[in-house]
Chains A and B, each alone.
Chain A
Amino acid sequence: MDVEFSIAQREFRDEVRTWLSENAPKESRPTDGAATREYDLAWQRTQHEAGWAGISWPKEYGGRGSTLIEQLIWYEEYGRANLPSVDSCFVGLNHAGPTLMATASDEQKQYHLPKILSGEVIWCQGFSEPGAGSDLAALGARAEIDGDELVVTGQKIWTSFANTADWQELLVRTSRGDRKHDGITWVICDMHSPGIEIRPIKTMDGGAEFCEVFYDEVRIPISNVVGEIDRGWQVAMSTLSFERGTAFTAGQVRLAHIVERLIDFARTQIGPDGRRPAIADDEIGRRLATARAEVATMRAMTYTGISRSVRQGSPGPEGSIVKLYFAELQKEIARLAMDIMGADGLKFVSRWLPDSWSGYFLFAFSQSIGGGTSEIQRNIIGERVLGLPR
């Protein structure tokens, strides 16, 4: 069991650290749609040109061909440098990309994967519907087969970055069988297709990337189907296990640095007694210490998950344990930040700006809802990890 990096890994880390300090974007991430697209893609392109995109992706798809350990080192350094997460590239890099690698045809892989890595395109996810949230398999967006095309009519919701995306991983119903999980198809949808209408949904943290998407006889080539028609549920589940497994590694690593910044902040912010710094308050001090120790345990779980992935080849249902903890921990830390802020926390600051605790607080509520609610994660842990009856 190794807890220290090898010499080669340490050299890799130093190289990453130096490169990030010299090349990271200097200006803050903008907050409106079109500008965030350009910002995120430009930063992804910069990383790609220097050979840092897709560190653990195979070389044939434009990746670096290294292991998850090097990918982890990158995330560690990225979090340490307090750089903005590449939110609009997230689905492409962490859902669609890995799913395509696992299931897509060679042609689909050759076409899409290099574009994701090189920052040419943005992907979004079309899974949830108004009538199919936690019960995802109840989805009803209909796709009729017409010659060599699927004709899609229906609605998707909670689609982040639909308004700026080029491509979508879309789940549609191609047939109705005895089981609702059968008859679903996973298809690549061109977001510029005629018949697509996108309406933004404003969120409680002031974000504008959340959308609902309407499809009115949208025609998609059948050659865009990933896996088999009617077998999309299995494809989608592999996507979700990637999301719950290793895709959040960057965020989990970043959380450790958020806690350290909060501790530093509490050394200068006046505490609840109006005299001493917040950190000197017994309750706040203990909560900060608890957060520091808890974040350590989450990193340890992340490392364990990566070791497991390296040994087993896929993250497995245990990823739901980390996902559940990550969500609840972010909310706890965000609340603590608000208690340290006092009335200063009432001033809204977008979470994209440095040290925005109020924006982070409002954002954190989404974490136990998106990607499967904490309640659904507990069902998965109960049934698929512990083997409890349904």
Chain B
Amino acid sequence: MPTSEQEEIARAAADLVAQQLPTSELRARTDEPDAVSSKAWQACAEMGLLALGLPAAVGGAGCAAVEETLLFRELGRHVAPGPFLSTVLGGHLALAAGDAELAGRIAAGSVRVAYLEPARGQDGMRGQRPDVAPEEFSGDAQLRDWAGAELALLLSPVGAGLVSVEALGEIKPCVSIDPGVRIAEVRAERAPLRAWAPTGQRDLHTLGLLLVAAQLVGIAQACRDMSVHHAKTREQFGRPIGVNQAIKHRCADMALAAERADAQLLFAAASYDAARADTEFQVRSAKLAAADAARSNAASNVQVHGGMGWTSEFDAHLFVERAEVLENTLATRTESLAVVLDLPAPQ
């Protein structure tokens, strides 16, 4: 279990996210190029949310992965928009690649980092030998949250790289199912890499999976809480719907899904910090449990809210959609299962 100091950081982050990035703001910006305003983004940067895990020398807070995990759980809980994942990891990458100046600018919020998900059938950087720094990136990819971003992040199990957004060629925006995440198609042709950090001491791909899992756990918890609240207050047949086992047991299953994903998430985060030998297994298991919990709780949450749950003006759909975005970030369920079976038995 996290310490009280760690929980204090999470609470402070939650307050800021609730204040700066409410879902009303996300809705108000559906026609804007970016889902998060510069003002809100800057406020998050000033509070240190972009550099929790970076050293003080580059403007960070010097925290561990556990604290970053708690922060990202709050971002998930509030379905916060904005390229937090790629920007935070971009800061780590810049530092690992020896570019402290860039890490500092990312920490300060002056450089946003977009996210690049290589298309299926394209392996991104995966074919790369870990000991040879690649010089360029080519291929089809989905670009996310690029507005105002100078750079885009590419993560693979062998290493992490930054490419200039400008170098990606024509950006073809698509309508996203998630109003909080902008997506576009790109076809990169020999886009030069601005920085590269091979997977070594700091495994950014695994850290990325951990932070994705954290957001998914936040979604699972938020959906559980919304459903429980509704089950207590919504009355039909003259009594709260939560007295019915059809609803009560659904809520209990949501609690179980959220609880086990959260327990595994925190264990995986601490494993990452302790560099346990089975860290990758623990993190992959966390991502699997978190995605299961988020997707099933988000679906249950729509169901518990009935007609209201299916409307656009109610928030339930935002969680369904964000869960799908995150499921399709870094590794899908099917890919992770293959890895989990191939890894040696956990400790």
Binding site for B on A (CB under 8 A): 1-4, 256, 260, 263, 279, 285-286, 288-290, 292-294, 296-298, 300-301, 303-304, 307-308, 311, 318, 321, 324-325, 375, 377-379, 381-383, 385-390
Contacts and interface: CB of A to CB of B under 8 A. Distances in A.
A382 B252 contact: yes
Nearest to A257: B345
A379 B251 CA distance: 10
Contacts of A300: 260, 263-264, 266-267
B2 interface: yes
A387 B253 CA distance: 14
A388 B228 contact: yes
A291 to B, nearest CB: 10
A381 B6 contact: no
Contacts of A301: 259-260, 263-264
9 contacts: A3-B271, A293-B288, A294-B285, A300-B264, A303-B263, A303-B267, A321-B255, A386-B228, A388-B240
A21 B255 CA distance: 40
Main SS of chain A's interface residues?
helix
B266 A293 contact: no
Contacts of A279: 341
Interface string B264-303: 1011011100101000011011101100000000000000
B242 interface: yes
Contact of B242 (A4, A290, A389): A389
Nearest to A279: B341
Interface in B148-192: none
B228 A325 contact: no
A1 B3 contact: yes
Contacts of B338: 285, 289
A301 B267 CA distance: 9
Q: Which 3 A-B pairs have the closest CB atoms?
A: A382-B248, A293-B285, A378-B252
A383 B6 CA distance: 29
Nearest to A390: B243
A325 B341 contact: no
A4 B274 contact: yes
Contact of B1 (A308, A385, A390): A308
Contacts of B253: 378
Contacts of A304: 1, 263, 266
Given A290-B337, A388-B232, A321 B264 contact: no
Given A300-B266, A389-B239, A286 B245 contact: no
Given A382-B252, A388-B232, A297 B285 contact: yes
Interface residues of B, number: 48
Interface in B227-258: 228, 231-232, 239-240, 242-243, 245, 247-249, 251-253, 255-256
Contacts of A325: 256, 260
A388 B337 contact: no
Nearest to A290: B337
A386 to B, nearest CB: 5
A314 to B, nearest CB: 16
B66 A298 contact: no
B228 A387 contact: yes
B261 interface: yes
B19 interface: no
Interface in B193-248: 224, 228, 231-232, 239-240, 242-243, 245, 247-248
Interface string B73-98: 00000000000000000000000000
Central interface residue in A296, A304, A325, by most chain B CB within 10 Å = A296
Nearest to B337: A289
A268 B199 CA distance: 34
Nearest to A293: B285
Given A294-B289, A324-B256, A382-B249, A388 B242 contact: yes
A319 to B, nearest CB: 11
Contacts of A296: 264, 267, 281-282, 285, 346
B334 interface: yes
A293 B284 contact: yes
A386 B243 contact: no
A288 to B, nearest CB: 6
B334 A286 contact: yes
B100 interface: no
Interface string B132-161: 000000000000000000000000000000
A336 B249 CA distance: 25
A382 B251 contact: yes
B340 interface: yes
A2 B1 contact: no
Given A296-B281, A297-B263, A386 B255 contact: yes
Given A3-B276, A296-B282, A379 B248 contact: yes
Contacts of A1: 1-3, 6, 66, 266, 269-270
B160 to A, nearest CB: 24
B143 to A, nearest CB: 30
A292 B260 CA distance: 14
Contacts of A297: 260-261, 263-264, 285-286, 289
Interface string B323-340: 000000000001001101
Contact of A379 (B245, B255, B274): B245
Given A3-B270, A300-B266, A308-B1, A389 B228 contact: no
